[in-house]
Structure 1
C-alpha cells in the first residue's frame, strides 16, 4: 500500500508539472513559512544567520532526527520533512550551493531549500531560497553563474517556467524577473505545440539558451509517447523565443521516458545531457553540440539507475561544471520504507569526465577523505573457490571500502556487506566477468571481448516486513584485458554506493532490521581469485560537527 501511495503521489505531481498551465489560476496562496530580506554583505549575513529562526530550526531538527537508525551521517539529507529533486547546483564566490525541492511540514508544497559547502561534503543549511509566490509550487530547475549574479530557471507550477536572479554572497535574496519566462499557452488560451517544465540554462556570447524537460509526444512506434526536449533562446532572460526540438537522432531513451530535470554542460570536447525519466530514473546522454544550428547529437547513453526509481532508487540529477573539463553531479534517492519526520537524501557527488582516450570516467568527488577515521588494511589473500570468507577485523554501517581483486577465471566474485552473523540479512555486490554483451557488435576491432556485469542485490538486506527491496541493479562495465576489479564502496546507514573501476556507479537504499548486520565477507564462485588489497575506513558524521552553530568561513573568493 505504501509504495502504491508513493507512486500515486509522483504520478499526480508529474501530471501537474506537465499540464498545469492549462488549468492555471491567477493567484495561489503565499507560503506559510516566514520570509525575510537578508543583508547584502557577507559579514552582515553571517551575523544574522547565527540567530536565524530557520537555520536554528534545521540544526535542532537534525540533532533530533539523528537518532533515526536509517538516517545517513555523511550523505546530505532533509533537515525536516521531505527533500525531493536536487536543483541548481552551482559554484559561486568560492563556495558550492545546492538547492533542492523542500516540502516543509508547515506548507506541503515545493519550495527551494538551500545548503552551502566548501567541499561538496560538509553541507550547512541556509534559509529557504525560493518560495511559491506567485506560483503554486517551486519545481525543478537549474542555475547559471555569470558575472555579478546567479540566474535560476525553474518550473513554477501553475504559472510557467520562471527566472530569478541573486547576487549577494550567500545567495539568500532572490528576485523573480520573468513571471513566466516560458509558457505553452498563447494569449488566446490555446495550447502551443511544445511542453515547458523543468528547465536548464546556459549562455553563448550574448544569448541565453534553455531546454525544458518533462514533456512527451506520440512520435514513437505505434504512436507511443516519446521524450520531448524543446529549445528556447533569449537576449534578456525575460523574452524567450521557442526554437525547435533540441536533439537529433536520439534513439537511446525508451517509449514512456521523458527528460525531466535536464542539465546540459560541456565535458571534455563533447557535451553531456543529464536527465531524469519518471519511468526509468536518472540517465545521461553524451554527444556533439552544434552551436551554430543549436542542435545536440547524442552518441552515447548511460544510466545512473538501472531499474524503476521506486523503491530505494536514484531519482533526479543536479549538475555543474567542475572548472577542469568535468561535471559534478549528485542525485536524490528514494526511500524503501517510512522514516518518521523526514524523507529524502542525496548521493555523494560524482565527477563525470572524459579520459584522453575519450572514455567516460565516473568517480566519487568532494572531500570525502576528510571523514575517514579508524582504518584497517588487509594484505594479499587467496580466495579459494566456492568458500565464503568472513572478515572479522572489519565491520560497521558507516564506512568507506576500497577493494582490488584479481578475479582470474572465476565467473563470479561476491562482496557481502551489512551481513548478520548467520546471514539472515546481507546486501550482495556481485561481479560477473565477461558475462555481458559481445563488444564487437558495436566495434569490430573488439572481437572476442565482452562486457562484464556488476550487480547490487537487496533482496536479503532486511528481514522487516515493511521494507521494500529492489529488484537487482544490474549494470555493464568494460574492463581492459589485464585490468583488475576495483570496487569503491560507501555504506552510510541506509545508503550503499558502489563505484566500479571509476567506470560505473550504482546506488541503492537498504534497511537492515537487525542490530548485528554489520559484517563483511568475500566469495569467489566457480574458481579461485586473489584479493590484492583491501582498505577500510570508518566514517564520521558531517552533522555532529555543526551542533547548533552556524559555521562558515568568512571568506569570499
Structure 2
C-alpha cells in the first residue's frame, strides 16, 4: 500500500470480518437538551448500577480517594479527553459485565471532581471499542477509535448533544478496515487513531512500528520459523487524510528526524497537539512506557519534524506504572494530559486508575515542563506547616505531624552540598514498609536532547520496600530527570493516595508508581540527607478530601 494512493474501504477486507454482535449492555437514547438529559440520567439503569458498584468498594483499602477509578470492573487506556460546552469529558476503555470493551465516560468542571456518565460508545460491528481520540468542532465532537476484531478497523463516531451521551457511527462500520501486517509491521498498522483537522481535511494518525518486531507482534513472531531472532523495530505513526470522514488516503509515515525513541518502541495511543510555538506528540511504548516528542508541524508536507523527546517515566511499563495518555489543549498554549496507571496486584472487582491531570508547557530550549492540572488544591483539608527542619547528614528525621495515606505533601528543601536526599512516605512505624522518593543530583545526561553536555538530576520513586505483603508485584523503581541549578530550592509535590504515589519536581518533571502497603500503620513520613547536611525550609501537608468511592 503506497502513500498517496486513494482507498475507499467500505467494502474491502470483508474476509476479516466476522458476524457482528451488538452490545448487550443497556443503552439509552437521550434527549437533545441539557435539562432533560439531567432528568433522564436520574433514572438511568447504568448510573444506578455504577453507584451501587462504587458503594460496594468503599472499604477497599487500595481504592484511591482522589484519583479516578472505574465505577465497575476495570478500565484501561483513557480516550478522547476534550472540552465541550463548558465541561471536560474523559472517555476510557471501560469493561461492563459482558466483557467487551466500551468507551466509559465521566464529566467534570475542574478535571478533578469527575461524575460518572453511561457508556458512550458501544461495540456493534466490532468486538471491542478500543483506544482513540476526540476532535471538537463548533457544532459537534468527532471520535476516532480502533474497532478491535469482527468488522474491525478505524471507526469514526459523532455526537452533538450537551453531555455527549448519544453517538452515531459514521457509515455504521469501520471506515478503514484492519490491514494485514506481518511481524515486521509491513505494510503498516491501523490502531489507536488520533484525529484533527487542518484546512479542508481531517487527519488521523495511527500507532505502529516498522523494520523489526514489537511486543504486539512477538506472540506471532515466536511461533514462526525465521522471526525468532529479529531485532526490535522503530516507532512509526501512520497518517491518513479525508475530506468527509468516510473515504481516506494513506499519506505515509508522519514523523521525521526521530532520534529520541529506543529500539522496540511503538507509537501507540498517539496525541498530537500544538504546544507553545511547537507541537507535541504524546505516545505510549509497550517496551518503555509513556513518551513525548517536541517538534515542528510542516503543514505543506504533512510531516512532523522532531526536535526533542524522551520518556515520562524511566522504568518498565505495566505492574503499577504509567501507561497511555489522553490529551487536549488548555486554551493558553499548554496541553492537559491524563494517563491510566496499571495494577501491580489483583483487585477485588476492579482494576487500574487514572493519574492526576497534568499541564504540559514548553520552557527554555523547548524543555517539556509539567505541573498538576485542575483544581487539586480544592481537596486540601487539615493543613500542617513546618519550617526550618534540620537534616543532619546520614540521619533519618521522622516527622510525626505528617501521617496519612491520602495526602498532598509539599517539601521545599535546600540540599546544600548533599548529593542525595530521600523522603519516605507510607512509612511503617518500625520501617518495615516505606516508599522512597529519592533525589540524585547530577547523575545523568539530558535524555530529552540526547546530550552529554548537560548533567540532569533525577527523582527515583522506589517501591522496593513498600510492602511486606505476599500478593502481586513490587514495581521496579520509576525515575524522571530534570535540570537542577545550584543554589535553587528543590520543591517536591508528593501526592499519596492509598495505592499510588505521584511526584512532581520543580515544575519540570514527574513520575508515579502503584504501591500496596500491608500494615495499618504504614502512614508515616520521614526525610534524610546523605553525605552532607541539608535543610527542609518549608514542609506543608494536607489530608485530601475523598472524591470517589
Q: Tell me whether the two structures share a fold, i.e. TM-score over 0.5.
A: yes
CA contact (8 A) 1:200 1:210 kept: yes
CA contact (8 A) 1:217 1:228 kept: no
1:33 aligned counterpart, secondary structure: coil
CA contact (8 A) 2:207 2:266 kept: yes
CA contact (8 A) 1:198 1:214 kept: no
Residue matched to 1:127: 118
| 1:96 equivalent among 88, 94, 105 | 88
Larger mean Cα displacement after TM superposition, 300-309 or 198-207: 300-309
CA contact (8 A) 2:68 2:548 kept: no
Distance, in Å, in 1 between the alignment partners of 2:351 and 2:451 is: 44
CA contact (8 A) 1:144 1:150 kept: yes
CA contact (8 A) 1:386 1:524 kept: yes
1:88 is displaced (CA, Å) by 0.4
CA contact (8 A) 1:230 1:245 kept: yes
Residue matched to 2:463: 458
Gap regions ≥5 residues in structure 2: 1-12, 215-228
Residue matched to 2:376: 368
1:201 aligned counterpart, secondary structure: strand
1:198 aligned counterpart, secondary structure: coil
Distance, in Å, in 2 between the alignment partners of 1:303 and 1:180 is: 32
Residue matched to 1:46: 38
1:192 is displaced (CA, Å) by 7.7
1:35 aligned counterpart, secondary structure: coil
Residue matched to 2:224: none
Residue matched to 2:495: 490
Q: State the Cα deviation string for residues 396-455 of structure 1 (Å, max 9, x = none).
A: 00000111101111121010000001100000011011222389x9679x6xx6211210
CA contact (8 A) 2:462 2:478 kept: yes
Residues 36-115 of structure 1 aligned to structure 2 (within 5 Å): 36-104=28-96, 106-115=97-106
Larger mean Cα displacement after TM superposition, 141-150 or 274-283: 274-283
Residue matched to 1:180: 174
Residues 121-160 of structure 1 aligned to structure 2 (within 5 Å): 121-158=112-149, 159-160=152-153
Distance, in Å, in 1 between the alignment partners of 2:417 and 2:249 is: 58
How many equivalent pairs are there?
A: 516
Residues 142-541 of structure 1 aligned to structure 2 (within 5 Å): 142-158=133-149, 159-178=152-171, 179-185=173-179, 193-218=187-212, 224-355=232-363, 358-437=366-445, 450-541=455-546
Distance, in Å, in 2 between the alignment partners of 1:377 and 1:236 is: 57
Distance, in Å, in 2 between the alignment partners of 1:499 and 1:35 is: 40
Instruction: Identify if the C-alpha distance between structure 1 residues 493 and 153 changes in structure 2 by more than 3 Å, giving closer, same or farther.
Output: same
Distance, in Å, in 2 between the alignment partners of 1:405 and 1:164 is: 50
Distance, in Å, in 1 between the alignment partners of 2:485 and 2:243 is: 48
CA contact (8 A) 1:210 1:232 kept: yes
CA contact (8 A) 1:184 1:194 kept: no
CA contact (8 A) 1:184 1:193 kept: no
Q: State the Cα deviation string for residues 188-210 of structure 1 (Å, max 9, x = none).
A: xxx98221111001111211111
1:359 is displaced (CA, Å) by 3.1
1:353 aligned counterpart, secondary structure: strand
Gap regions ≥5 residues in structure 1: 1-20, 545-557
CA contact (8 A) 1:217 1:227 kept: no
Instruction: Identify if the C-alpha distance between structure 1 residues 223 and 422 changes in structure 2 by more than 3 Å, giving closer, same or farther.
Output: closer
1:524 aligned counterpart, secondary structure: strand
RMSD: 2.1
1:340 is displaced (CA, Å) by 0.3
The two structures have a TM-score, normalised by structure 2, of: 0.90
Distance, in Å, in 2 between the alignment partners of 1:56 and 1:517 is: 35
Q: State the Cα deviation string for residues 56-94 of structure 1 (Å, max 9, x = none).
A: 111121111111000001000011101110000000000
2:445 aligned counterpart, secondary structure: coil
Distance, in Å, in 2 between the alignment partners of 1:406 and 1:82 is: 42
Distance, in Å, in 1 between the alignment partners of 2:488 and 2:204 is: 41
Larger mean Cα displacement after TM superposition, 207-216 or 353-362: 353-362
Q: State the Cα deviation string for residues 193-230 of structure 1 (Å, max 9, x = none).
A: 22111100111121111110144443999753222211
Larger mean Cα displacement after TM superposition, 118-127 or 463-472: 463-472
Distance, in Å, in 1 between the alignment partners of 2:275 and 2:545 is: 32
Distance, in Å, in 2 between the alignment partners of 1:76 and 1:198 is: 22
